[in-house]
Amino acid sequence: MAYKIALFDSKPYDKEFFDKAAMAALFDIRYYPVRLNVETASLAKGADVVCAFVNDDLSAPVIDALIVQGVKLVAMRCAGYNNVDLKYAYGKLHVARVPAYSPYAVAEHAVSLLMTLNRKIHKAYNRTREGNFTLNGLLGFDLHGKTAGVIGTGKIGKVAAEILKGFGMEVLVSDLYPDQAWAKEKGLRYVGLEEIYANARVISLHCPLTPESRHMIDERSIAAMRDGVIIINTGRGALVDAKALIAGLKTGKIGGAGLDVYEEEDKYFFEDFSHSGIDDDVLARLLTFPNVLITAHQAFFTEEAMSAIAATTLWSARDFLEKGELANEICYLCGSSSCPRETTGKCF
């Protein structure tokens, strides 16, 4: 008998890649376009595994509801887990994620946002389609020789830093757990956030969302940045205080912002509001700035990444259900899916 998976917040592309994944034949995958919450958790009845995404609700009441339905594992088909109450789930329900699907996908998207903002590609595209071939207002700057700051040097941050280094930029990096050997090999330098804020022409965020990193880009940190800084965020929306960002854009302190994530994105991202409009005044205001680019959490969205997400999710489910093994389980203390706590008794 095939194992049963209830996959929530499904889109046509989820079905395409999960159906053709190598392990798909072992599973009876049921696709539900609705998001997981207290009201929809009953759809998981009889499922061994629930597959959830970034905007699904995995708070304590939902976890309890899934346990009642007989669910044994929550498999997040993403790297983020800030929508999961890990401490409540501990000892009740196993939770796994996909820690690395394609760091290149997200890092390349971050750099694409930077390049588009700097060289005004979005504005040039619209102009030429209307027969306007003037260059006024399209002036950019050479990335070569400038300073970039990369905050967070996990797999994605490392790739982003190496790409920016390839442009001939001086790259300053910051992380709570610095990898000094990697930095030395790549000719990069770990510094404090203050040095990045003071010197970087470009700042790219690749750190997880924690209570400590929430709104790390706020009024105070923006004031410490150099004038005209470009901020790129492909991490988590709440890393940036959007109201403070707007204030910085209005004064010109911030020269541009490329956002693939937004703090209140669960209300809008992955859905079509082209015929109904946007009620979120902050998001609507951000969309009015010509030097702001917003993409709808698509940095991960490449063929390679989608294939890896489906394969890793199904392999994790198979190993857990057949062998009791769960390599990508998230530690409720540190949030890592490679935490040595189970064998050493200590987190990183």
Is the pLDDT reported for residue 345 higher than 80?
A: no
- Quick check: is 108 catalytic? no
pLDDT at 342 over 70: no
pLDDT at residue 303 is higher than 50: yes
51, 10 Cβ separation under 8 angstroms = no
* Longest CA–CA separation in the chain, Å: 66
Domain ranges in the chain?
3-101+303-344, 103-294
Range 80-106 average pLDDT: 91
Catalytic one among 77, 97, 201, 297? 297
**Rounded to the nearest 5°, which phi and psi values hold at 292?**
-125, 130
Mean pLDDT of the chain: 93
pTM of this structure: 0.87
Residues 46-91 pLDDT 10s: 999 999 999 999 999 999 999 999 999 999 999 888 899 999 999 9
Q: Which of 9-13, 87-91, 178-182, 329-333 bottoms out in mean pLDDT, i.e. has the lowest?
A: 329-333
Q: Are 226 and 198 within 8 A, CB to CB?
A: yes
| Structure confidence at residue 101 (pLDDT) | 84
For the domain 3-101+303-344, what is the CATH code?
Answer: 3.40.50.720
Q: Is 127 designated active site?
A: no
Residues linked to residue 149 through DSSP beta bridges, in sequence order: 172, 203
| Residue 336 binned pLDDT confidence (cut-offs 50, 70, 90) | low
Residue tagged active-site, from 108, 263, 265, 329: 265
Please state, in angstroms and rounded to a whole number, the distance separating the CA atoms of residues 100 and 122.
30
| Architecture in CATH for domain 103-294 | 3-Layer(aba) Sandwich (3.40)
DSSP for 62-121, written as a single string: HHHHHHHTT--EEEESSS--TTB-HHHHTTTSEEE--S-S-HHHHHHHHHHHHHHHHHTH
Top pLDDT among 125 and 210 is at 125
The one catalytic residue among 94, 201, 206, 236: 236
pLDDT in tens, 162-202: 999 999 999 999 999 999 999 999 999 999 999 999 999 99
Active site residue 297: yes
In CATH terms, are 3-101+303-344 and 103-294 the same topology? yes
pLDDT, residue 266, reads 83
Q: Which pLDDT does position 99 carry in this prediction? A: 85
The pLDDT tens digits of the residues spanning 265-284 come to 988 998 899 989 899 999 99
CB atoms within 10 A of CB 279: 10
> E strand or H helix at 15, and its extent?
helix 12-19
Q: Is the pLDDT of residue 225 over 60?
A: yes
What pLDDT, on a 0 to 100 scale, did the predictor assign at position 77? 95
Any residues with CB less than 8 A from the CB of 235 and at least 6 apart, and which? 152, 205, 206, 207, 208, 209, 261
| Cα separation, 327 vs 324, whole angstroms | 10
pLDDT of residue 111: 98
